[in-house]
Chains A and B, each alone.
Chain A
Amino acid sequence: MTVEIIAPGPYATVQDFGRRGYAHLGVPRSGAADLPSLRLANRLVGNAEDAAAIELTFGGATLRFGRGGWVALTGAPAPASPGGMWAPFWVAPGRSLEIGAPYEGLRTYVAVRGGIRVPPVLGSMSTDSLSGLGPPPLTAGTVLDLGEPMFGLHADVAPQRPISAGPVVEVVRGPRDDWFTDDGFATLCAGAYRVSQDSNRVGVRLTGTALRRARAGELPSEGMVAGAIQVPPDGQPIVFLADHPPTGGYPVIGVVTTADLPKVAQLRPGDRLGFRPRRGG
């Protein structure tokens, strides 16, 4: 069983849960930028949650299933023919699945029953856009193998997660909030930010209220996590996503919660983003 990429859209990659346990060797975690959407898509077609699927950026893809396939689409909602979002559907042998541009959000996940199979690198099939590990981004003509289904098809329609073009996400303060002026964290939470054009799987670059440092000098390189809000000297924050570098030298003023990070991963250039302190500190 295979799926052939007729057109990948603006940017499409294979993603699973990423590479765990290699950050100290300079290897980014990578994996789906919106992990809950990958999990849901896999559940809908009876795959293990961590099976590899296709992550589309701005949709626009056409896929052909030589011998047919069960497919589920989650994440950024987009028109699809045949089928639709948040429910498994069958693509008949030889038929093409056409996915348009999403109505909202950025990343649409395409899970296929059996899961995408490419040679794993360090335990993951994910494309890492920063280090180049894993398969290259998908191009027209790429043929991907599929694995064996693990579970039966049980779900009919899953509840959809609303996508916001202007979310306010929760942030845990620190670890380097003391590198900023006294009101630095308050400034971040009161600030209005927009997503910049040069955002990608490494991070969402923001423009808006600048965060001023309380001290000069450089922070020695230290470990980084997904969701970290790193602030370069120009004061414009960057929220790290899946392909973030495992270490960095700019101070992190706060970290977006695990539950809210997928909202950040679905933002398009130009969208608004706000921050608020996590309830309970």
Chain B
Amino acid sequence: MIRRVGENALLVETGSLAASHRLDARLRLLTDVEEIVPGPETVLVVGGRADRLIPLIEQLDHAPLREAGGETVEIPVVYDGADLADVAALAGISVDEVIARHTGSEFVAGWLGFAPGFAYLVGLDPSLHVSRLDRPRTAVPAGAVAIAGAYSAVYPAASPGGWRLLGHTTLSVWDVTSDSPALLKPGTRVRMVAA
């Protein structure tokens, strides 16, 4: 289903993150749209002419789509996070096992939000699905590697944050001076490596 969003945008219901990524990859080949914003079950398309886009998208929906060619990024993580022991206690496993399951998870950057460059990484081992902190921290440093709910993330810049901290990376995931400022884009495959 394609829903109108105001005069100048369309919300395409894809039903799944994988379908969102496939549609995103196809639409990005078009140059006359302003924004393409994939979400867990939708893709928002801003700009372009709706009367031309709707038939095009409907056609794409029914065409067999190749897998979005997400590149793979390895993130070296020092597992020294302040919440590591609490996460182990919540999951009922050892700290070493938390690290093993985090590095063993096959992550995909689902969508970005909360802050520029902040990618929601899906694919977290279900045993590590823990709640957010009751009281968010007022300051989480850039490079903090954290989990909350079904997601993991790398904080792209220092900010407040309520996710549980497992460790940190020195890899920069956000660089505003670059033409491609985000290391983790929708569809990027991600693997954590203990450093």
Q: Which residues of A contact B (CB under 8 A)?
A: 20-27, 121-122, 131-133, 172, 174-176, 220-225, 227-228, 245-247, 252, 255-258, 278
Task: Report whether A172 and B39 are in contact in the complex, using a CB–CB cutoff of 8 Å.
Answer: no
Closest to A132 in B: B157
Closest to B176 in A: A121
Candidates A26, A176, A256, A278; contact of B115 at CB < 8 Å = A26
Within the complex, the shortest CB–CB distance from A262 to chain B, in Å, comes to 14
Contacts A23-B46, A221-B111, A223-B39 given; does A131 touch B9 at CB 8 Å: no
What 1/0 mask marks residues of chain B from 9 to 21 whose CB sits below 8 Å from any chain A CB? 1010000000000
Interface centre among B9, B24, B34 (most CB of A within 10 A): B9
How many Å lie between the Cα of A247 and that of B3 in the bound state? 16
Task: Report whether B176 and A257 are in contact in the complex, using a CB–CB cutoff of 8 Å.
Answer: no
Candidates A25, A27, A221; contact of B40 at CB < 8 Å = A221
Task: Report whether A221 and B6 are in contact in the complex, using a CB–CB cutoff of 8 Å.
Answer: no
Contacts A24-B38, A25-B112, A246-B37 given; does A223 touch B44 at CB 8 Å: yes
Contacts A24-B186, A220-B40, A246-B37 given; does A258 touch B112 at CB 8 Å: no
Task: Report whether B112 and A26 are in contact in the complex, using a CB–CB cutoff of 8 Å.
Answer: yes
How many Å lie between the Cα of A172 and that of B11 in the bound state? 14
With A27-B181, A223-B43, A225-B5 given, can you name 14 additional A-B contacts, CB distance below 8 Å? Answer: A22-B181, A24-B38, A24-B112, A25-B185, A175-B4, A220-B39, A221-B113, A222-B41, A222-B44, A223-B39, A225-B46, A246-B113, A257-B7, A258-B6
Interface centre among B9, B42, B113 (most CB of A within 10 A): B113
Please count how many residues in chain B sit with their CB below 8 Å of the partner chain's CB atoms.
37
Task: Report whether A122 and B176 are in contact in the complex, using a CB–CB cutoff of 8 Å.
Answer: yes
Q: Which residues of B contact A (CB under 8 A)?
A: 3-9, 11, 24, 34-44, 46, 111-120, 157, 176, 181-182, 185-186
How many Å lie between the Cα of A131 and that of B113 in the bound state? 10
Task: Report whether B6 and A222 are in contact in the complex, using a CB–CB cutoff of 8 Å.
Answer: no
Task: Report whether A222 and B39 are in contact in the complex, using a CB–CB cutoff of 8 Å.
Answer: yes
Which residues of B are found within 8 Å of A121, using beta-carbon distances?
176
Task: Report whether B6 and A247 are in contact in the complex, using a CB–CB cutoff of 8 Å.
Answer: no
Chain A to chain B contacts (Cβ below 8 Å), 19 pairs? A23-B44, A26-B118, A26-B182, A172-B5, A176-B3, A220-B40, A220-B41, A220-B42, A222-B37, A223-B9, A223-B43, A224-B44, A228-B5, A246-B113, A247-B37, A247-B112, A255-B6, A255-B9, A258-B7
Which residues of A are found within 8 Å of B115, using beta-carbon distances?
26, 131
Which residues of A are found within 8 Å of B114, using beta-carbon distances?
26, 245
Closest to B119 in A: A26
Task: Report whether B39 and A25 are in contact in the complex, using a CB–CB cutoff of 8 Å.
Answer: no
The 3 A-B pairs at the shortest CB distance, nearest first, are namely A223-B44, A255-B6, A223-B37
